[in-house]
């Protein structure tokens, strides 16, 4: 049986992972909210389409209905 953890949008994804996780699979919902200053720091031209990398999403993104299940706990 899978053990689910539901994350909120009050902090980043990494801050919400339990400290006892040895490994986990993150199922990303297609909607991740990036901080407002992220777009300004990345966009070079006003017409440019920008998308966060997986690393940026994990470190800076705030989830919108995301689930995680444990694979291994210490």
- pTM higher than 0.75: no
- Domain boundaries, given as residue ranges, for the chain: 4-73
Per-residue pLDDT of the chain (74 residues; tens, 9 = 90+): 556 667 777 887 777 777 777 666 766 556 788 998 898 888 889 888 888 998 998 889 887 754 555 555 55
The pLDDT value recorded for residue 54 is: 87
58 vs 52: CA distance, rounded Å: 10
The pLDDT value recorded for residue 19 is: 79
pLDDT tens for each residue of 43-60: 889 888 888 998 998 889
């Amino acid at each position: 049986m899978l053990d689910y953890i539901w994350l909120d949008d009050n902090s980043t994804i990494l801050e919400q992972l339990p400290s006892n996780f040895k490994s986990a699979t993150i199922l990303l919902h297609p909607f991740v909210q990036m901080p407002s200053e992220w777009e300004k720091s990345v966009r070079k031209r006003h017409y440019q389409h920008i998308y966060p990398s997986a690393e940026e999403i994990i470190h800076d993104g705030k989830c919108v209905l995301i689930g995680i299940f444990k694979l291994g706990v210490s």
